[in-house]
Amino acid sequence: MRKIIHIDMDAFYASIEQRDHEEFRGKPLAVGFAGERGVVAAASYEARKFGVRSAMSSKQAIQRCPGLIFTSARFEIYRSVSKQIRDIFFQYTDLVEPLSLDEAFLDVTHNFKNMEFARDIAKEIKNKIFKETGLTASAGVSFNKFLAKIASDYNKPDGLFIITPQKAEKFVENLKIEDFFGIGKKTAEKMHQIGINTGLDLKKKSEEDLIKLFGKHGSLYYLNARAIDNREVNPNRIRKSVGSENTFMEDTNSLPRLYAELETICRDVIHRMNKNSFKGRTVTLKIKFSDFKIISRSKTITSFITDFPQLYKIALELLYSLDLDKKIRLIGVSIKNSESDLGNDIPKNFQLKIPFKEFKDSYH
């Protein structure tokens, strides 16, 4: 029986800003840009009481909470604090799988301190995080990743919730389907339409039926409804893509402006690639028009893209291929198909470089 902990920081970005700025404490705060096209990156718990959520437009957030305070994001600070937290995790186990800057899975079945109970480890980690960073974290403890992730969200903020093997299946049966880890809004809506509202409803469906309805994810839903998740904590998660995008303050179809923005985005993508030692061959251009219609165009080349001129040239080619009959709201570029994904699709005359030096995945 494995012992898995999921640690999730409480309102991470907003909590750091409240920690560092006394004038923000106890007040509804949003990290982001308050302008017409702004988006909330994170919201404090005071703001969440008004229904303000991350990824919400700033305009909508202000409508819900007229007294909402906005502050700019400081990602270098967030990454620094994230590293502090990651260092605490590694005091207990090497099996740490980061999901983002503010959350991670830990497999503490065999831990460096030979502690018997995962619950005690989770308590220690929460206490150390608070002592070293002044921030609170919530922890979920169970015997698999699916349950640990759900548990960490159960008593937020500053929560600790344990799902034991004896209680797991009954717990999942009573769980709302939208609270399942891995079931997004659209999938939940589809499930509601066919009468799946709880874990028990999901459990009544056969694996064959779920595969017909949801493809390969159907098998996972079938297992999760029975509190089963065989995935291991993976300390070497492989980054599949790197990208950057920007929403214009005003919709535009000005080619000079699009070229300039595309240049900025491509430079940012190259910077992120270099920072994460990422390599890719497939470039995707994403466009969102003023009517919110989204299209994308991709191009794959035979060698890895390594510099800005090469990436910018391909991005421009993709832009030239589009019929820009409407104004554009958002433009973005991403690159994927990393070295680990090549498999048998290695181009002829291509020499694969094998890194022998071991390294730990970056905490992103």
| Options 17, 97, 103, 261, the catalytic residue | 103
Q: Within 13 Å and on the Cβ side, how many CA atoms surround 241?
A: 11
CA 93 from centroid of its chain's CA atoms: 22
97: annotated active-site residue: no
Q: Catalytic residues, which ones? A: 103
